[in-house]
Chains A and B, each alone.
Chain A
């Protein structure tokens, strides 16, 4: 079976320029060698902290950014080598929904115009476009009379539904969801999460779900890739990552989540990492996590650990000394 999406050796380096001549003095390796694979109807989550490259990866997938190197195969075709015309057609199948429901919708367009825009751009509006917009609004739980209103008349949760209706307008097969619920209050966040799951079941959508919120990721994902400084440090099924994480960064990330249960909070084992994430313009040699890692040895400074399954747990981890912990977090 060929996968819906296959990403190989993806790189995105941003130049750092200084001086009058804008000479390049360095580069930020925002995404530095990422491989991903995703099947129809599946959710793959990219998790990590700010600056790990997860959002850049998402933007590369829909080619809002041009990759520095690497292949993005969608239904077997390499998006980087397609002609403009072919790309335009393929692009309909890959859509993106953004984090900020306030910045991502035009204040000058009605909801109808916002959702109709992708149809018009692709020349599909003339043929039953108005009905299509009505159906889309209904699909995401908005009422038909909402179509005549402007985005500012809606709450954050409703705006995310408008963004979702727009993303769904062209019958995509893959949605890149960039922190889609992070700006929402918890009570509303749960509504949107349930809706995303419902739509996935009904429409057979595949999601790349980008998030820093591991509780949400645990709830929604089939597979998870943990990123740190532009690379994937560990990847596997939801169960692999949440019950048998072998990379120290994954373990630290999981134990850092505050558990909404005060019982036993004083006995809970926590791994508190020292220091901050290093700058991606000057990442550490060898393993990028070694400057914050309690297990770091000589070898970690010299040799970047490959993303492989060293101890036979069934999923790969980019650590020289992977191990399955006895207990994790509050579980």
Chain B
């Protein structure tokens, strides 16, 4: 196997709040190979966004980050100077955020923002060339009539069009890695389908690896090669997309799949996961999922299950993952 494009080892992120220290992310390790789409799935508060944002040090100051390694193409991002990190952001690593209205500058034209993304990473800045590239990029992501629309402001764009502009900026400098944080969550389904098709196309054409952060298992199944499932700030399962959906090997993953109403299957009664996600200022002892888990027994209440490799390219953090293997 080639050296991973991105390697995260032992990442922990704490936030100091009035209610005490919140362990948003605990001991997360993750590798992204060149060209693959890795989905990080989890519910609100599971730490998926914090994990991805810590890669480019985009977390608020209150965050206390520690990690054994965060390396992009072998470069240690933990100690990189601010200037060199800026060269990576928007350059070899493109970002797409959930809400394109707050991520875009409202008083700058769309073209100006896309051109800026290009300019910042040019050795010899050429405004005219950057503007031409902006028009070309917007055309590429399916903004109709790009030569005219570049002159418009974000509020003149619809949600779907704004998200296309964000994608144009993310792919502007031929990235090796795209980090997409809930890229379609704010969009209507028909627009979501357009943007998913575009992401697929952008990925195929640039060959960039992608980290896709989402809570939507449908989007994961449509797009991802590999899936990392997070719960309560930890990785609880990781597997190839087909394996994960066919035989989930962590009861949380299994519970998530069973609680989904489906377009393709008739289920009489949904099978929800009981209870609520834990309070991260006071997470349960032992396995963080045990209060909601149908397999839980005494050991789970005291002993934290480590994330162990249980097969080729798959791992699970459940003491009793073997019991899930047979039920396929």
Please list the residues of chain A having a beta carbon within 8 angstroms of any beta carbon in chain B: 49-50, 155, 157-158, 185-191, 193-194, 197, 212, 214-216, 218-220, 242, 252-263, 265, 270, 272-273, 275-277, 329-331
In the bound complex, do residue A265 and residue B221 qualify as a contact, i.e. CB atoms below 8 Å apart? yes
**Which residues in A have their C-beta under 8 angstroms from that of B255?**
187
Interface segment out of the listed B102-110, B169-177, B257-265: B257-265
Known A254-B263, A263-B242; judge A188-B272 contact (CB<8 A).
yes
Beyond A185-B43, A186-B259, A261-B245, whether A253 also contacts B190 by CB under 8 A is: yes
Complex contact B221–A262 (CB within 8 A):
yes
Task: Indicate if B322 sits at the interface (CB-CB under 8 A).
Answer: no
Partner of A253, one of B189, B197, B220, B257: B189
Is the Cβ of A215 less than 8 Å from the Cβ of B259? no
Asked if B197 and A214 make an inter-chain contact with CB atoms under 8 angstroms apart, the answer reads: no
Given contacts A188-B276, A262-B221, A276-B158, contact A49 B263 (CB under 8 A): no
Q: How far apart sit A42 and B63, CA to CA, in the bound complex (Å)? A: 50
> Which of A157, A190, A194, A256 touches B189 (beta carbons < 8 Å)?
A256
Find out whether the CB atom of A260 lies under 8 angstroms from the CB atom of B270. no
Residues A186 and B188 in contact in the complex (CB < 8 Å), given A215-B260, A331-B263:
no
CB distance from A160 to the nearest CB of B (A): 12
| Residue among A214, A261, A273 making CB contact with B194, cutoff 8 Å | A273
Residue numbers of B with Cβ under 8 A of A are: 43-44, 144, 158, 160-161, 188-194, 196-197, 215-222, 224, 241-242, 245-246, 255-257, 259-264, 267, 269-274, 276-277, 292
Q: A219, B193: Cβ atoms under 8 Å?
A: no
Q: With A49-B189, A187-B272 as given contacts, are A272 and B194 in contact (CB-CB < 8 Å)?
A: yes
Question: Inside 8 A of A190's CB, which chain B residues have their CB?
Answer: 259-261, 270-273
Of B257, B259, B269, B292, most buried by chain A (CB within 10 Å of CB) is B259
Residues of chain B within 8 A (CB-CB) of A265 are 221-222
Judging by beta carbons under 8 Å apart, are A157 and B263 in contact?
A: no
How many Å lie between the Cα of A190 and that of B292 in the bound state? 14
Known: A157-B276, A257-B218, A260-B218. A186 touches B260 (CB 8 A): yes
**Nearest B residue (CB) for A242:** B263
Nearest to A292 among chain B residues (CB) is B190
- Given A185-B43, A219-B267, A261-B264, the answer on whether A194 and B272 have CB atoms closer than 8 Å is yes
Q: How far is the CA of A216 from the CA of B262 in the complex (A)?
A: 8
Given contacts A186-B259, A212-B188, A330-B263, 11 further A-B contacts (CB under 8 A): A50-B188, A155-B276, A185-B215, A189-B272, A256-B193, A257-B189, A261-B245, A262-B220, A262-B241, A273-B194, A329-B263
Instruction: Check A215/B261 contact, CB under 8 A, given A185-B277, A186-B43.
Output: yes
Query: A258 near B260 (CB under 8 angstroms)?
Result: no
Closest partner residue, chain A, to B194 (CB atom): A272
Query: Could you tell me the distance between the alpha carbons of A155 and B276 in the complex, rounded to whole angstroms?
Result: 7
A219's contact among B158, B245, B270, B274, by CB below 8 Å, is which? B270
Complex contacts, A254 vs chain B, CB 8 Å: 263
Given contacts A272-B193, A273-B190, whether A260 and B221 have CB atoms under 8 Å apart is yes
Nearest residue in A to B196 (C-beta to C-beta)?
A: A258
Give, as a whole number of angstroms, the nearest-CB distance from A201 to chain B: 12
Q: Are B222 and A276 interface neighbours, CB within 8 A?
A: no
| Chain B, Cβ-Cβ closest to A256 | B193
- B188 surroundings in chain A (CB, below 8 A): 49-50, 212, 277
B274 touches A191 (CB 8 A): yes
**Chain A: CB-nearest residue to B218:** A258
Complex CA–CA separation, A165 to B215 (angstroms): 28
What separation, in Å, do the CA atoms of A58 and B189 have in the docked complex?
A: 21
- CA separation between A277 and B188, bound complex, in Å? 10
Residues of B near A259 (CB, < 8 A) are 218, 221-222, 262-264
* Contact of A155 with B221 in the complex, beta carbons under 8 Å: no
| Min CB gap B157→A, angstroms | 10
How far does the Cβ of A234 sit from chain B's closest Cβ, in whole Å?
15
Residues on B with C-beta less than 8 A from A212 are 188-189
| Cα–Cα distance between A188 and B215 once the two chains are bound (Å) | 13
Of all A-B residue pairs in the complex, the 6 with the closest CB atoms, nearest first, are A258-B218, A190-B272, A190-B259, A219-B261, A49-B188, A256-B193
Query: When the two chains form their complex, are residues B193 and A329 in contact, meaning their CB atoms are under 8 A apart?
Result: no
- For the complex formed, measure the closest distance between the CB of B159 and the CB atoms of chain A, giving whole angstroms: 8
CA distance in complex: A158, B276 (Å): 9
| A255 cross-chain contacts in B, Cβ below 8 A | 193
List chain A residues, Cβ under 8 A from B276: 155, 157-158, 188
Residues on the B chain within 8 Å of A330, using CB: 263-264
19 inter-chain pairs at a CB distance below 8 angstroms, sorted by A residue, are A185-B215, A187-B272, A188-B272, A190-B259, A194-B270, A212-B188, A214-B263, A215-B261, A219-B262, A254-B263, A256-B190, A256-B192, A256-B193, A257-B218, A260-B217, A260-B260, A265-B222, A273-B190, A329-B264
In contact, A216 and B261 (Cβ under 8 angstroms):
yes
